Structures are given as structure tokens and as C-alpha cells.
Amino acid sequence: MGIWRRLRNVGFWTLCGLAALAIAAPALWVLYTVFHQSLPVIGWRLLTHNTNAGGLKNAILGTLWLLFGVLVLAGIVGVGSGIYLAEFAPRGIGQVARFFSDVLAGMPSIVLGYVAYITLVVQAGWGYSYLAGVIALSVLVLPYIVKTTEVALRQVPTALREGAAGLGMTERIILWKIVLPPALPGIMSGVIVALAISTGELAPLLFTVGFTDNNPSLALTHQQVPYLTSVIFTNLQLPDPQAQYLSAAAGAMSLLLLVILILIGRLITARSVKATRRMAL
């Protein structure tokens, strides 16, 4: 009987290994290709020179600057709406808002880019600009932030709210002092995911921010903004091999940003898991 059991064991572990490989392989494949292709141009030059001189400095700065805009705009609007939906909204309004949020979440980003182009770039007359891009990206990621905020708030035990209410605290103070602190890690990881999505988006930006070899300016309108995903897309179509290497390097840089964001998110959730586990005791 020992042999069958051992065979079953081997089979089981083989399957486990294969499953793990199936998940890891695509990621490794992408990482390997991108880094391998960008090898010839990897160096400090990427950080010190702009895209017209074999570097990525302007695109990195532009991407970070766009992410900052999304953090502020989508962060405030999204977290605010999430709080409203979880804590204050009457049921009817909540259901309507959630429906539109779902529609938005499934919206192809290129459609969003098109709409932003027509209304903001053309009709509002902003031209290719920072503000148009930030708004397009923010609309794209808003549903994630709203959803995670709402879920994080609803996970705060009723017993805590009732305990606070039983002491005569006002609704506003209960929200700020009792409900928000334990929900904060969940809310923040939603915002981080939103930023990660923004990092990799191209379609809404193609239509809204344009591109420039210069460093991004602080102007909200009428000034084009450089960003990494555009370099990936445009440079690959250029005949010059150096330009193509830069395309891969921009991809590598986006991945690096993504990994940093994921790690930050991990750190936050790890802490919150610890906190919730203790809350359950």
C-alpha cells in the first residue's frame, strides 16, 4: 500500500508545483522580456536625461505628477463618496450610486479617454493638459476607491459604533474617532490599487495629456505632460534601436513603480490584518 500513497503524494506535489508555475510564469515572462530588452540603455542616464536624450526623467516626473493629481482628486472624491455611501446615504440613493459605480468600473478606458477628449480637451478648451488627464484617470479609478472605502467602513463592528453612541458621542465624532481609524488601512489599500491602475493606463492619457520631451510644468491646462506608458507605445514604433530600448526601459520603470506601490499596499494590509485579528479577540 505504501507505494500507492507515495505515488499519490508525488502527483499531488507535482500538481501544486505546476499550479504555482502557471501563476508565476506570466509575470516572470513579462519581467524577463522587459528587462532583457532594456538592458542596453539601463543606467543612471535614464534618471538624469529627458526622452529626447536617451533618458526617461521627464516621463518619470510626469507620471509621478499625474499620480499625485489622481491621489488628490480621486482620493478626496472617492473616499468622500465611500464614507457617504457607507454611513449616511439613504438606501435608495445608495443603490443608484452603486449601480453607476458598477457601470463606471466596467467602462472601457478608451471610451473614457474619448469622452474626456471631446468635453475637456476640445469643448472646455483646455487643450492637451494635466487637468484633463487627471480627471480622466480619476473617473477611471473612482469606483475602486469608493468600493474599498465603503467595504472598509462596513467592516467596522456595529458593537464599536454602539459602544460609542452609548457614551453620547455625536455621529461626527463617532465617524472620526471610532469608525475611520480601524477602516483606514482598508481605505488606503484601495487608493494604492487605484494608483497602480493609473500607472499602467495609456488610453485615457493618449487623448488627454499629449506628450512632451520637456519636464512637466505645473500648469493645469494648455501644457502637455510626458508620461511613461506613452514612451512604451510611441518609441516602439520608431526605427532607431536605441529608441526601442528606451521603450522597454519605460516599461521596466512602470513595473518598478507598480512593485513599489504593491509593496506599500502589502505593508498596509499586513498591519490591518494584525489589527483586525486583535479586534476579533
Can you list the pairs that 214-219 forms with residues at least 24 positions away whose Cβ atoms lie under 8 Å? Answer: 214/50, 214/58, 215/50, 215/57, 215/58, 215/61, 215/62, 216/58, 216/61, 216/62, 216/65, 216/130, 219/129, 219/130
Contact pattern for other proteins over residues 174 through 193, marking x by CB under 8 A: ---xx--xx-----------
Minimum gap (Å) between residue 97 Cβ and other proteins: 18
Q: If we measure between CA atoms, which residue out of 197, 10, 188, 171 comes closest to residue 112?
A: 197
Q: Residue count at the site for other proteins (CB under 8 A)? A: 22
**Contact between 160 and other proteins (CB under 8 A)?**
yes
Pick the closest to residue 62 from 193, 240, 253 (CA basis). Answer: 253
Least Å distance, CB 169 to other proteins, is 5
Max Cα-Cα span within the chain: 79
Q: Does 270 bind other proteins (CB under 8 A)?
A: no
Q: Does 271 bind other proteins (CB under 8 A)?
A: no
CB of 162 to other proteins, least distance (A): 6
Interaction between residue 164 and other proteins (CB under 8 A): yes
Q: Is 90 in the site for other proteins (CB under 8 A)?
A: no
40, 161, 180, 258: which one binds other proteins (CB under 8 A): 161
Residue 89 in the binding site for other proteins (CB under 8 A): no
- Residue 166 found at the interface with other proteins (CB under 8 A): yes
Side-chain-facing half-sphere of 162: CA atoms under 13 Å: 3
Query: Of the ranges 41-49, 153-161, 187-195, 198-206, which one interacts with other proteins (CB under 8 A)?
Result: 153-161
Count of Cβ atoms closer than 10 Å to residue 20 Cβ: 10
Whether the Cβ atoms of residue 41 and residue 242 lie closer than 8 Å to each other: yes
Which single residue is written with the C-alpha cell 499602467?
200
Site for other proteins, rule CB under 8 A: 157, 159-170, 173, 177-178, 181-182, 275, 278-279, 281
